[in-house]
Structure 1
């Protein structure tokens, strides 16, 4: 794993592409990601968590069944709980989800902008960066103290068992 350089650099590049935030769950096992990175606004993360919205999030449901990319617009009919509408109140307006599987391990993510839809080129760049992040974190080794500090300095919330 080349985490010392790769993980913070990859997350910085993703932050530039998704200025309204993202949530990335890497190497999901038994419905729990081994690593989770989040840059959404704190108020939205609190509402999402306290409201138990993960169980109603259409991007999560789609990712459990599919691999590839899909825009939130394409998932709006699968959102009876109004997760996307609630996110809009926090400036999280346009987005898309990615679900990928490599080496028998699944990772999923949702990326957002507040100003406009993602271009096809931005989506493809994001997908490529997501794949690199998936591969860079494939080892079961815990994150080093240096990487943890680099993530904190980027204001990236992360969890790792």
Structure 2
């Protein structure tokens, strides 16, 4: 089973365990996660993004300063923008936060429900999923020279045919290198693979 398939399976488990949705930031580096996904109400996500609440979110502040898991109601940090109250208006009445990994590559996951607090058993299950997601999404720190060359050509603006000609290989061979680079970096697209390769100083 590939890591991307395993990620999909774990995200499905997280979705089932989070009736009001979840937010995931895997391996947050330089304030940006290598993998991000959210299933909260789209209107809340739009409101959250438009107001740059990630910079003001008590859950994220807790996750960057602590490791472990906790209910949102147990996070004793200032909330000057009333994010908890605003989130509740979109059905995110109760939630938990899970944080794991070193601070320079931290994973933070939030899960929500509208009806009640999460039980201890539910929190333990979600924390296990979170730690597994963190482990299997550990970014690769190396690519083959062939993969790097292929990504570098595309990053430089070459189309597939031009990049293949520049490298002296067939277009299908170039595409195979790009696919393998995407798989290694757990990227959905070539542009995402290029971005991830830049973030870990491979390009």
**Which band: TM-score by shorter chain?**
0.7 to 0.9
Name 1:153's counterpart in structure 2.
Answer: none
Which fold has the larger relative contact order, with Cα–Cα distance below 8 Å and residues 6 or more apart in sequence? 1
Hey, what's the Cα distance between the residues in 1 that align with 2:44 and 2:20?
Answer: 11
Residues 29-81 of structure 1: CA deviation (Å, up to 9, x unaligned): 11211111111111000000001111111001111111111211112652121
Hey, what's the Cα distance between the residues in 1 that align with 2:98 and 2:66?
Answer: 9
Indicate yes or no: 2:155 matched with 1:142: no
Name 2:87's counterpart in structure 1.
Answer: 87
Hey, what's the Cα distance between the residues in 1 that align with 2:59 and 2:70?
Answer: 8
Choose between structure 1 and 2: higher helix proportion: 2
Choose between structure 1 and 2: higher strand proportion: 1
Q: Which runs of 5+ in 1 are unaligned?
A: 149-158
Shift of residue 106, structure 1, vs aligned partner: 1.6
Name 1:9's counterpart in structure 2.
Answer: 9
Alignment of 1:7-156 (within 5 A): 7-75=7-75, 78-101=78-101, 105-140=105-140, 141-143=184-186
Residues 73-127 of structure 1: CA deviation (Å, up to 9, x unaligned): 112652121101111111111001111016x732111110111110100000000
Q: Count residues in correspondence.
A: 149
Change (3 A) 1:62 1:77: closer
State the TM-score, normalized to the length of structure 2: 0.67
Runs of 4+ that moved beyond 4 A? none
Name 1:151's counterpart in structure 2.
Answer: none
CA RMSD of aligned residues (A): 2.2
Shift of residue 4, structure 1, vs aligned partner: 3.6
Do 1:2 and 1:136's aligned partners in 2 also have CA atoms closer than 8 Å? no
Change (3 A) 1:52 1:105: closer
Do 1:67 and 1:101's aligned partners in 2 also have CA atoms closer than 8 Å? yes
**Which SS does the other structure have where 2:11 is aligned?**
helix
Hey, what's the Cα distance between the residues in 2 that align with 1:124 and 1:43?
Answer: 29
Do 1:25 and 1:37's aligned partners in 2 also have CA atoms closer than 8 Å? yes
